[in-house]
Amino acid sequence: MDRRQLLDAFRNLDRRQFLDKMCQDLAGLDEPLPIGHGQPLSQPTLVLEMTALLDPEPGSRVLEIGTGSGYQTALLAPFSQMVCTVERIPELARQAEERLVRLGYANVRFRTGNGGTGWPEEAPFDRIIVTAAAGTVPPPLVGQLASPGRMVIPVGPRGWQNLLLITKDAAGKLAERVIEKVAFVELVGAYGWHQAKDNS
Ligand code: SAH
């Protein structure tokens, strides 16, 4: 993706539109902020960094796990052919869909449910981004990643996790790179923290 265009899109994306009235005054801070139901919206620079790492292309079919407010979705959509996004909390999923439709995003598909199992009907995906922390990389997501493909996912125990960039080459061979330590909420379900090795 073109980094200059990404930076422009990032600067033009108003985080206030993704926050409750109560938090809108804080939108300009580079800090995580609450979006309800005990869930946070990450600091903007991390959302930007994860988008750049994912590096979608105009033809990319993207799977996002953890829709939350839809802010990350809104940064991905203009650089992708289609974003399929999954959120487990129905009220957040509903609000994000309503918001993104109102803002005019036409290439996003929404699903409420456990994203750990991906979205088999829409697979394979050229890009997969997970914005909640897994204990282990969910095998269904690896299976639904195209060859070649890229996945960005935080993996590790409660507290701090490793942000991983997983790449699959054209022959289907996987490689993994640790980018940095991050702190996300848990990816609830089968691939959550009860499976995490303590790697802190
Ligand atoms: N990217 C979001 C913030 C993500 S916070 C944004 O831009 O606002 C993490 C989100 O992952 C929360 O909304 C949480 O409900 C969701 N989540 C946690 N476990 C999940 C699962 N198994 N499947 C789908 N969504 C999940």
**What is the set of domains in the chain, with CATH numbers?**
3-199 (3.40.50.150)
Q: What's residue 194's pLDDT?
A: 82
Q: What is the pLDDT of residues 180-190, one digit of tens each?
A: 999 999 999 99
CA–CA distance, 118 with 73 (Å, rounded to integer): 16
For ligand 1, mutation pick of 51, 129, 130, 131 (most atoms within 8 Å of CB): 131
Answer whether 166's CB lies under 8 Å from 150's CB: yes
Find tokens 């061979």 and name the residue: 173
Q: What is the pLDDT of residues 125-144, one digit of tens each?
A: 999 999 999 999 999 999 99
State yes or no: is 200 an active-site residue: no
Q: Quick check: CB of 64 below 6 Å from ligand 1? A: no
Parallel, antiparallel or unpaired: strands 82-87 and 61-65: parallel
